[in-house]
């Protein structure tokens, strides 16, 4: 407790940073602001009671599954059933006193439920938006997170491996144990989540592998095969780095029409409340996105030793800033079924900040697109999770768009799956 009081006293001595444009294609980045301890504040869990999240006029929201065990990402199967990955993962040891303090503060904003280490299947048999069936499809997994479906096979990205289940349309339970496709980097697992999506032609899986530190404080050696996206051959399990320098790629999706890979990523901490923006970006084959040497293109991070000017010179600036510390953990592209205002763009789930005094995130936003690229400010789509600076009812993670016209959102604090759909005429 004395350490927490000390942290608060230090934060009070740090002058507030100037207001900056923190979203969009060209964010205004303030100067780095380092202190002995970073700003740390996380809202505690609050009950929903009779309340519901807030959605735009013309939409309605319902809880289609409750009492889950840390729901993360979701997959809509060909028959409309929804698979939910449930897992907690992690457990990397703290290195510094401030890591231990941050760990305590972060724990205040988490569900006390254990991770399910399973996949849960939800079914709406009559298509009325109510999912009557909630059953375990597979269990005894290792902190599953990313999900993909290719040619009759369900792929699951555990925190240590990609595994698969053969699937027959309408199946409600896996026929047997999973088969290993390929191992994933899992030593330390500072960032344990393994996001995943499949290429449009089904030939490849893309898996996001987060860094093993905030900014190489564990050394560069433990970052081998980290902070990157792998491309994995579905037929053989062979893999290669597809893009590098992405600190923590937490959700991946394919853009309709272009078949391009897009990602949301969580950027580095501890250089101020308004640095560095988490982002949404298309992902270029062979592209380098800066971590750890720089951020948002060529903005050098002086904390990294040794420096690498050549890598900095090659760094690609992301397409769209979502705001610093919003902790984007979900992304999916919309469809025409969502209505004219939300037809062209991507929905992003924001888990919420810990590394700033005033909480940000804790909502789902819609990023509008024009001509295949983000255009304009993000639009709040699901809010009402955050009660005030000290309390939140939920924390959005995975976001999945049902082709029939609904946004499905996983909330890993209240352990709920939310469905947002246009009100039927």
pLDDT digits (tens, 9 = 90+) for 357-366: 899 999 999 9
Distance CA 179, CA 165 (A): 7
CATH number at residue 62: 2.120.10.30
Q: What share of the chain has pLDDT > 70, as a percent?
A: 95
Helix, strand or coil, per DSSP, at residue 5 = helix
Does residue 12 fall inside a structural domain? no
Interacting residues of 70 by C-beta distance below 8 A, sequence separation 6+? 86, 87, 88, 111, 113, 114, 115, 116, 412, 415
Does residue 270 fall inside a structural domain? yes
Does residue 22 fall inside a structural domain? no
Does residue 23 fall inside a structural domain? no
Q: What is the pLDDT of residues 132-186, one digit of tens each?
A: 999 999 999 999 999 999 999 999 999 999 999 999 999 999 999 999 999 999 9
Q: What is the pLDDT of residues 59-75, one digit of tens each?
A: 999 999 999 999 999 99
Q: What is the pLDDT of residues 304-352, one digit of tens each?
A: 999 999 999 999 999 999 999 999 999 999 999 999 999 999 999 999 9
For the residues 376-391, what does the mean pLDDT come to?
96
| Residue 401 CA neighbour count, 13 Å, CB half | 26
| Residue 276 CA neighbour count, 13 Å, CB half | 26
Segment holding 8, helix H or strand E: helix 2-13
Is pLDDT at 2 greater than 80 in this prediction? no
- Pair 267, 276: CB distance under 8 Å: yes
* Crossing angle of the two packed helices 97-108 and 2-13, in degrees rounded to 10: 100
pTM (2 d.p.): 0.93
From residue 212, alpha-carbon distances to 26, 110, 112, 209, 251 in Å are 28, 21, 24, 9, 17
Does residue 28 fall inside a structural domain? no
Does residue 265 fall inside a structural domain? yes
Domain residues for 418?
A: 34-422
- Give the number of domains in the chain: 1
Phi, psi of 232 (to 5 degrees): -115, 130
Nearest by Cα to 403 from 340, 342, 335: 335
Residue showing tokens 């289940």: 165
Does residue 20 fall inside a structural domain? no
Phi, psi of 6 (to 5 degrees): -60, -40
- Pair 79, 125: CB distance under 8 Å: no
Does residue 26 fall inside a structural domain? no
How are beta strands 345-350 and 363-370 bridged, if at all? Answer: antiparallel
CA 62 to chain centre: 22
**66 beta partners:** none
From residue 198, alpha-carbon distances to 144, 230, 289, 301, 308 in Å are 16, 11, 21, 33, 33
Nearest by Cα to 228 from 243, 212, 218, 250: 243
Q: Which two tokens stand for residue 245?
A: 């320098």
């Amino acid at each position: 407790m004395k350490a927490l009081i000390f942290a608060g006293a230090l934060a009070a001595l740090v002058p507030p940073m100037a207001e900056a444009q923190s979203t969009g294609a060209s964010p205004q980045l303030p100067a780095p602001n380092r202190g002995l301890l970073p700003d740390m504040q996380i809202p505690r869990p609050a009950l929903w009671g009779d309340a519901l999240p807030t959605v735009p006029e013309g939409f309605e929201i319902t809880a289609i599954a409750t009492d889950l065990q840390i729901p993360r990402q979701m997959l809509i199967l060909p028959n409309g059933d929804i698979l939910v990955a449930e897992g907690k993962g992690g457990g990397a040891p703290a290195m510094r006193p401030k890591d231990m303090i941050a760990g305590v503060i972060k724990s205040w904003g988490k569900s006390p439920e254990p991770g399910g280490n399973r996949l849960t299947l939800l079914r709406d048999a009559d298509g009325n938006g109510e999912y009557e069936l909630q059953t375990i499809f597979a269990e005894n997994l290792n902190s599953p997170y990313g999900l993909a479906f290719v040619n009759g096979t369900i792929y699951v990205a555990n925190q240590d491996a990609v595994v698969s289940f053969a699937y027959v349309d309408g199946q409600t339970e896996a026929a047997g144990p999973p088969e290993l496709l390929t191992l994933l980097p899992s030593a330390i697992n500072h960032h344990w989540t393994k996001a995943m999506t499949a290429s449009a032609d089904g030939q490849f899986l893309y898996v996001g592998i987060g860094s093993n530190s905030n900014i190489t404080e564990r050394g560069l050696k433990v970052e081998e095969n980290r902070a990157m996206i792998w491309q994995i051959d579905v037929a053989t399990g062979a893999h290669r780095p597809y893009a590098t320098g992405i600190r923590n790629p937490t959700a991946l999706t394919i853009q309709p029409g272009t078949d391009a890979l897009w990602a949301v990523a969580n950027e580095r901490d501890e250089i101020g409340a308004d640095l560095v923006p988490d982002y949404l970006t298309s992902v270029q084959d062979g592209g380098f996105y800066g971590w750890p040497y720089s951020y948002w293109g060529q903005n050098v991070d002086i904390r990294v030793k040794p420096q690498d000017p050549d890598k900095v010179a090659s760094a690609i600036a992301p397409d769209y800033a979502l705001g610093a510390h919003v902790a984007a953990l979900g992304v999916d592209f919309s469809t025409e079924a969502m209505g004219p205002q939300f037809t062209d763009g991507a929905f992003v789930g924001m888990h919420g900040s810990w590394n700033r005094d005033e909480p940000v995130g804790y909502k789902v936003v819609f990023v509008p697109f024009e001509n295949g690229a983000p255009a304009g400010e993000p639009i709040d789509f699901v809010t009402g999770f955050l009660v005030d600076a000290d309390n939140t009812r939920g924390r959005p993670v995975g976001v999945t768009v049902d082709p029939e016209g609904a946004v499905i959102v996983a909330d890993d604090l209240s352990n709920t799956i939310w469905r947002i759909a246009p009100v039927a005429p």
